[in-house]
Structure 1
Amino acid sequence: MSDVDFNSSPLFQLRGNLVASQQDEYGPVSVIDHRDFRSMSFDRVFEQSKMLKNQPSLPVHHYIRAMLMAVTLTEAQDILLLGLGGGSLLRALFARDTGISVDVVELSQAVMCVAQDYFYLPQSDNIRYVIDDAARFIADDRGQRNYHLIFSDLYNANALAPIQSTATFLRDCAARLRPGGWLVLNHPHLPSQDPTFSRALLDIFSSLFYTVAPSGNVVIFASRSPCPYPLHQLKRMMKECEADFASDFTPVAQKISRWPGAPIF
């Protein structure tokens, strides 16, 4: 029996109509419409991003909602997004506060073009779109500014980009945080499943929390500064910020936990 080509077999493709497709040296990028939703996909099997067409700023995926809960932790005015995808985080953050200043770093020109043409990216003098490698950008501190929040969501077609798990990348992100700032990571594994990554986090950051989305995505909140809130208050605050995004944050807020081995202040 021959292997199944998942990328070509219609049994394993995302449902919907192909609206557009572009390709660059990093691979194809497809736009797929299905009923009320529009998705971005790199392989037409997995969704990289999903948008409700008549309400683009609404965060659809639970892991995006989990990442957005970080706005309760700091001032959330100077923000860095590493990995654009379809722009779900950016649209939600900008709808909440049009005065934010955001740097958006995306490796693929095709992803950037598709997101700008089909996913209603906000335009503002305070939003800077940059085509660059995230690891190179975060390591280059020449004249660069620091951030209240750094969101890192670096994935290829169906797996985490390896750089996001490295100690070097985590240290570079920590160095670009303002005092009291937070790094927010979309990660595929629980602490016990990735001990090397877990140890790197514990070595670099003072405050570490995480939650698990219904999809299985592990969203990590990391800061060099002590967290001023006890865990029960943190859960309540993160739940209450759902009003800013017109979404239900209960499934992710109630699962906020302290990272194993992280200090309790």
Structure 2
Amino acid sequence: MVTIDAFLNKITLLTSGNTIAKESDEYGNIIVTDSTKYRVLRFDGINEQSKMLKSDTCLPIHNYIKAMLMATAFTSSNTALVLGLGGGSLVRSLYALDSQLTLDVVELRSRVLSIAREYFSLPSSDKITYYINDAGDYLNNLSLPRYDLIFSDLYSAFTMDPLQGTERFLRLCLNKMHDHGWLVMNYHEVPKVGSSLYDALHRVFDEVLYCIVPSGNVVIYAAKKPHDSSLDEKKSQANQLLLQLGSNVDYLSRKINFLRCL
């Protein structure tokens, strides 16, 4: 009889090449696979947590990463916080866009950080600080600075961290943002009208946008204060940003819409 683990390992090999590293911690497995073009990070299961093009390590591959990066076009930014490292796709692209950006990165699992450094060309700079911490505990630190951008991508192997969908989390982020700042979240669905997250987003933030990416992920953009630019201007700015990164995918910027308050 074929075990579930053997089946998953076989699927992983068929879809992503050879396993070059596998470690475990109290949260589960951390698996790195390598093919001719790509290097992929997985936790348990076959879902890709991070993907890197080996010939251009700063180019974002997953559409949800591209959609998250579009937020950098919405406001001027000198400081950013990334909650959830994975293989460092977002961090590599942010650093490529602006090597002078002061960047704080929070990752729960120390082994994930070690593997990202060893296998995924994680940038090292005096402008970037990596923290091993729980995202909620980090945000509760009263001595933290304020940020222009906060990116939240909190996922385990199969599911989103429930913290990311709570009003408590939104308010913790709000308290760490400059007035012109944006919170950017990788979410699993468009918040339904009348849901707790839908209502909380509109209680906490003055402007809320979203973008549905082809994989089904939904990126939510929440502004602390209203911004002067129109939705069409934001779409144009976002598309120019993607072109700057070498990603000619204007269909993503066209999918930005208001999450309207009813």
What TM-score does the superposition give when structure 1 sets the normalisation length? 0.93
2:16 aligned counterpart, secondary structure:
coil
Partner of 2:191: 191
**Structure 2: which amino acid aligns with 1:196?**
S
Partner of 1:206: 206
Q: Is the 8 A contact 2:16 2:40 kept in 1?
A: no
What RMSD in Å do the two structures reach over aligned CA positions? 1.7
Shift, 1:29, TM fit:
0.5
**Structure 1: which amino acid aligns with 2:239?**
K
1: CA distance between counterparts of 2:181 and 2:110? 29
1: CA distance between counterparts of 2:192 and 2:252? 19
Q: Is the 8 A contact 1:7 1:43 kept in 2?
A: no
2:66 is the alignment partner of 1:68: no
**Structure 2: which amino acid aligns with 1:107?**
L
2:246 is the alignment partner of 1:246: yes
1: CA distance between counterparts of 2:225 and 2:61? 31
**Structure 2: which amino acid aligns with 1:24?**
D
Shift, 1:231, TM fit:
1.1
2: CA distance between counterparts of 1:193 and 1:57? 37
1:235 aligned counterpart, secondary structure:
helix
Partner of 2:103: 102
Q: Is the 8 A contact 2:147 2:178 kept in 1?
A: yes
What TM-score does the superposition give when structure 2 sets the normalisation length? 0.94
Shift, 1:8, TM fit:
3.1
Q: Is the 8 A contact 1:24 1:109 kept in 2?
A: no
Identify if the C-alpha distance between structure 1 residues 7 and 182 changes in structure 2 by more than 3 Å, giving closer, same or farther: farther
Deviations 1:224-251 (A, max 9, x none): 1002111111111111111221112312
2:80 aligned counterpart, secondary structure:
strand
Shift, 1:77, TM fit:
1.6
1: CA distance between counterparts of 2:221 and 2:165? 14
Q: Is the 8 A contact 1:76 1:100 kept in 2?
A: yes
Shift, 1:36, TM fit:
0.3
Deviations 1:140-196 (A, max 9, x none): 12x210100000000000111111001101100011001100000000011228811
1: CA distance between counterparts of 2:193 and 2:224? 23
Shift, 1:255, TM fit:
0.5
**Structure 2: which amino acid aligns with 1:37?**
Y
1:168 aligned counterpart, secondary structure:
helix
Matches within 5 A, 1:1-265: 6-9=4-7, 10=9, 12-13=11-12, 14-141=15-142, 143-192=143-192, 195-261=195-261
Q: Is the 8 A contact 1:66 1:249 kept in 2?
A: no
1:85 aligned counterpart, secondary structure:
coil
Shift, 1:123, TM fit:
0.6
Count of aligned pairs: 259
1: CA distance between counterparts of 2:249 and 2:197? 27
Unaligned runs of 5+ in 1: none
Unaligned runs of 5+ in 2: none
